[in-house]
Amino acid sequence: MKNIIVLFILFTFSLTAQKKSPYQIFNDKGKKVSYKKMLKTSSKTDIVLFGELHNNAIAHWLQIELTKDLSLKSELVLGFEMLEADNQNEVDMYGTDKIDQIGLDSLARLWNNYKTDYKPLVDFAKENNFKIVATNTPRRFASKVFRGGFESLDTLSNIQKSWIAPLPIAYDASLPGYVKMKAMMGGHGGDNLPKAQALKDATMAYFINENIKENTVFVHYNGAYHSDFYEGINWYLNILSPNKTRVTISLVEQKNIKKLEKEFLNKADFIIVVDEDMTKTY
């Protein structure tokens, strides 16, 4: 009997040791939580900010899975950092079958990894008649701020100004994320580098706020840096829609996914830790 028990224990241990999990979800305090918990919490909020690593395969898979599962519980609006506000008309035309994918490719400025990483989300929204929102500032305007500060935006036409957050852009240079960004660049770009980032954050928050609908969940996909530690887009949403509830998700990579590293604590409501060996999409 003892031999049978020993063999059972060894067999169970062997199976456990062979299990490979590519990710683990934690809450802001570093406690392990289930996907089911993240889904349930996300379904009961007004806005979900899904902060991704742009080239992480698990991030993109979880984005489409979470979106599909949320759609079973609520109507959705989907917003994308990866789509720029001056291409909203083209996005609308694609969503209503007035142009096809070839047309969208030729008319809109799509990221190089659009077809593999974001098209599934856009097509899911299209198939389910969910609003698709291009939330980001046109990249040339961010470059304009990098070169000449917020003042350079005053020269934009009224139509061009409709593609960014209303001027003047609120800005807090002391926010840790902006301070860190400036430090990481060794001062290159001066104060204008974080200001260009702030223009993107402010614009994304503005178009999220403009397109929130009652009894829906607005799911926004953005680089994690735009919403980590409740800054960036969050800071502007606190100004624009303080009464709207939000859930933030961030994705990080670690060698060991079993325990959240201290530097990532409080990074978001849900922190998805992915094995650092995970395949990249580009």
| pLDDT tens by residue, 205-263 | 999 999 999 999 999 999 999 999 999 999 999 999 999 999 999 999 999 999 999 99
In a domain, 281, yes or no: no
Pair 27, 270: CB distance under 8 Å: yes
In a domain, 4, yes or no: no
In a domain, 244, yes or no: yes
In a domain, 7, yes or no: no
In a domain, 186, yes or no: yes
In a domain, 18, yes or no: no
> What pTM does this model have?
0.92
Range of the domain at 259: 23-275
In a domain, 6, yes or no: no
The distance in angstroms from the start CA to the end CA of the chain is 54
Asked if the model's pLDDT at residue 2 lies above 70, the reply is: no
C-alpha separations of 266 from 55, 84, 218, 241 in Å: 23, 29, 22, 22
Pairing, β 23-27 against β 270-275: antiparallel
Per the structure, the count of domains in the chain is: 1
In a domain, 2, yes or no: no
The CATH number given to whatever domain includes residue 199 is: 3.40.50.11550
Judged by DSSP in three states, 153 sits in: helix
| pLDDT tens by residue, 26-85 | 999 999 999 999 999 999 999 999 999 999 999 999 999 999 999 999 999 999 999 999
C-alpha separations of 157 from 90, 107, 137, 154 in Å: 20, 21, 14, 8
Structure tokens, 92? 């609308």
Q: Residue 124: CB partners within 8 Å, gap ≥ 6? A: 64, 67, 68, 71, 130
Burial readout 164-195 (b: 16 or more C-beta within 10 A, e: otherwise): bbeeebebeeebebbeebbeeeeeeeeebbbb
